Amino acid sequence: MTQAFDALGLSAQALASVEELGYEEPTPVQEQAIPAVLAGHDVMAAAQTGTGKTAAFLLPCLDTLAPLKRGERGPHMLVVTPTRELAQQIEQVALHVAAHTHHRVTTVVGGVGYEPQYRALRRGCDLLIATPGRLVDLIEQGEAQLGDVRVLVLDEADRMLDMGFLPQVRRIVNQLPAERQTLLFSATLDDSVLDPTRDLVHDPVRVEIAHKGTAAETIDQYVLPVSFEAKNALLPAVLKQEGTQRVIVFCRAKHRADTVCRRLRKVGISAAPIHGNRSQNQRERALASFRSGEVDVLVATDVLARGIDIADVAYVVNFDVPADPEDYIHRIGRTGRAGETGWALTFVTHDDYLDLRDIEALMGRTVPTWDKTDGLDLGDEPPVLDPTRDPHDKLPGKRERKRIKVAQEKAAQERRARAKAEREAADAARSAAAEAARKEADKKRSRRKHDADDRAVAQAEEPARKGGAKKAGRKGTQDVVPPMRGRMGDASGKGVTWGVRQRKSDGRRAIAVDELKNDLADWSAQNSAAHATNREQARVAQPKRNWRDIAAEIAGLTLEPSSYELAPSKTAQDAAAKGAKGASSDTKRKKHKKKHGGQGGDTPAQRGNQRGQGKERADKGTGGKGVAGKSSTAKGASGKSSTAKGASGKADTQRKQAKGKAKQGAKKQGSAPSSAPVEATRTRRRRHPGDLGGRK
């Protein structure tokens, strides 16, 4: 430590704390503010961030204030600051000084529990460091008593006014004694700061080290034009190229900071977010991890831009251009602190151009373009920055900027719509190509399958063509042709029943059963249609053909007698037998009707019932009493019996046989027979499973 701090009027205890803090020479703001504070004047000081403003008010105030006496609660000194991080940073410096001046320090901020703060305030403190919102809550709860405050310090006053804390600050000031010393420290002292705070200070000493918009000379500034869609991929590329250790990345929005953090972690860069939505513990852990080197990149919003003192920050990246030009000055001030060098890089898109021009107008100089872009993807249409632009040019007003912004948003939407249409067209083309390839593959598989089937048929026909038919009993592969039967109408309108008997072929081609079935169905449909449309012509007699000719015509095959035999099926044989018996049956029915006076039923059961009724009438005519009823019932039973046994149309009409059967039935039943006729049961032949197209 040089003799410069001795000349400022600090005590030995304060100088010991200066040596512990590592200060060698006072900064300009310390050199001018410390003597004025020691003299008891109100002070309004403005200086760039990172110039030691915290020590400029802590050293002289704690050096002049006596520690609390027994029974006093204090506080004697109150420091109000806009952010929790800045309050904790002031607390760290104050603890170093208080270790030598024997003062007690307490900090109350939002985002943490109230109980520890209640206990600390009840024990009493010399210095109270607070954020406006939490301090107002404690005042309303009666836990914070500010009647003994002798010194009020408003740190980062311009930031508190920008964040809307002026009403809370006035409520706090109303709780303070009128006789006090007020110190106001800010980055600038323009009208936006002076007008609202004139009634808070009395005849202040102004210490203005730098005018508004003055950035530290130790910081090199660059801008990097980039397309909006390329920003996300460009950030990790720049960090890997320039080094990822000790870097702070600033974003406009809280959700953007979280998103940037996740993307950096995906590419293997350790990062931690810090913004207003994070809890106090989360923010403290993020800062501690960054200071210790556990986290390489700290992604923050402007909450970290004011007053945070982090040593050895390599460089700062403005991922988003700040809307307030003053925030740009504070952002880049996180590097190059305490006289050390640093540099800052700002990404600029088409939407950020006017905000960049506002920053340049505030500083009074243009920011050069970064030239280390080899191997970096800046996008398709990065903005073109004129290197000869004048920072003092008149820029568009708010109304004109709004119109320009609307036009830029419309252009951006059109670009996104074009990109989406191109992606959809490319997807459709790929889908069409994939579908065409699939169809072509299906065709190729189908052709290969047909070719294989043709080869199999040719191989099966080859032995028949070369060696002729083999004998049925010869050993070898036996192809079984299933029996086929069916019924279909011929040209004469009558049903034709056909059948193919089952035979075995030794190594020769069997009848194609499926094709034969289809041909039979087509043949039946065609003949049925012709029969329906022209019934008269359909009844014309057709030349008679045998079964072999019909099946050969239908199947289109030449059948070999040694392998196959066509013959009428059982259905056809039954039909022929029934036709042969038709004439004799009709004659017998007529004779029976004439003899017995019945109705001549068509079925054996009906004929049996009729015979029974005729006999009953004959018995009544002769005067028979009991025998006639029994005879009638017995004759009905006889009809039922003949039906159950499947008797033919020939009925037994002899009277003696009917009587004997009736007597036997009466003995077996043991009761009087009934005179009502019994309905015969109609039976039906089951269809053969090989029938094709038969009647249902």
pTM: 0.50
- What is the DSSP secondary structure assignment for residue 226, as one 8-state letter? -
Whole-number pLDDT of residue 488: 45
Whole-number pLDDT of residue 242: 92
Beta strands 181-186 and 297-300 are unpaired
Helices (H) and strands (E) in the chain, counts: 22, 18
Whole-number pLDDT of residue 473: 43
pLDDT tens track for 184-217: 988 777 777 778 888 888 889 988 876 666 677 7
70-79, 127-136, 155-164: least confidently modelled range: 155-164
More confident residue, 120 or 303: 120
More confident residue, 310 or 683: 310
Single-letter amino acid code for the residue at 492: S
Which residues have CB under 8 Å from 597's CB, separation 6+? Answer: 614, 617
Whole-number pLDDT of residue 534: 59
pLDDT band at 294 (very low <50, low <70, confident <90, very high): very high
Whole-number pLDDT of residue 189: 76
More confident residue, 692 or 131: 131
Q: What angle do CA 23, 25, 30 make, to 5 degrees?
A: 90
Is residue 16 predicted with pLDDT exceeding 50? yes
246-250, 457-461, 534-538: least confidently modelled range: 534-538
Whole-number pLDDT of residue 9: 86
Domains, the chain, ordered by start: 6-208 (3.40.50.300), 219-391 (3.40.50.300), 478-568 (no CATH), 582-647+654-669 (no CATH)
pLDDT band at 236 (very low <50, low <70, confident <90, very high): very high
More confident residue, 327 or 504: 327
Is residue 636 predicted with pLDDT exceeding 60? no
Whole-number pLDDT of residue 477: 40
Is residue 646 predicted with pLDDT exceeding 90? no
- Highest mean pLDDT, choosing among 557-566, 585-594, 615-624: 585-594
pLDDT tens track for 51-99: 788 889 999 999 999 898 888 888 999 999 988 888 988 998 999 999 9
Query: Could you give the dihedral angle defined by the CA atoms of residues 439, 441, 444 and 445, in that order, rounded to the nearest 10 degrees?
Result: -110
Which residues have CB under 8 Å from 586's CB, separation 6+? Answer: none
More confident residue, 654 or 247: 247
Express as a percent the part of the chain with pLDDT over 70. Answer: 64
108-117, 356-365, 479-488: least confidently modelled range: 479-488
117-121, 391-395, 423-427: least confidently modelled range: 391-395
- Taking alpha carbons only, the member of 479, 669, 498 closest to residue 571 is 498
Whole-number pLDDT of residue 594: 61
208-217, 236-245, 515-524: least confidently modelled range: 515-524
134-138, 390-394, 441-445, 455-459: least confidently modelled range: 455-459
- Cβ atoms of 223 and 387 closer than 8 Å: no
Is residue 575 predicted with pLDDT exceeding 60? no
Whole-number pLDDT of residue 436: 92
More confident residue, 525 or 85: 85
Query: Could you give the dihedral angle defined by the CA atoms of residues 387, 390, 394 and 397, in that order, rounded to the nearest 10 degrees?
Result: 40
pLDDT band at 115 (very low <50, low <70, confident <90, very high): very high
The pairs formed by 196-204 with CB atoms below 8 angstroms and a separation of 24 or more are: 196/161, 196/166, 197/44, 197/154, 197/157, 197/161, 200/154, 200/169, 200/173, 201/42, 201/44, 202/42, 203/41, 203/42, 204/41, 204/42, 204/43, 204/44
Is residue 607 predicted with pLDDT exceeding 50? yes
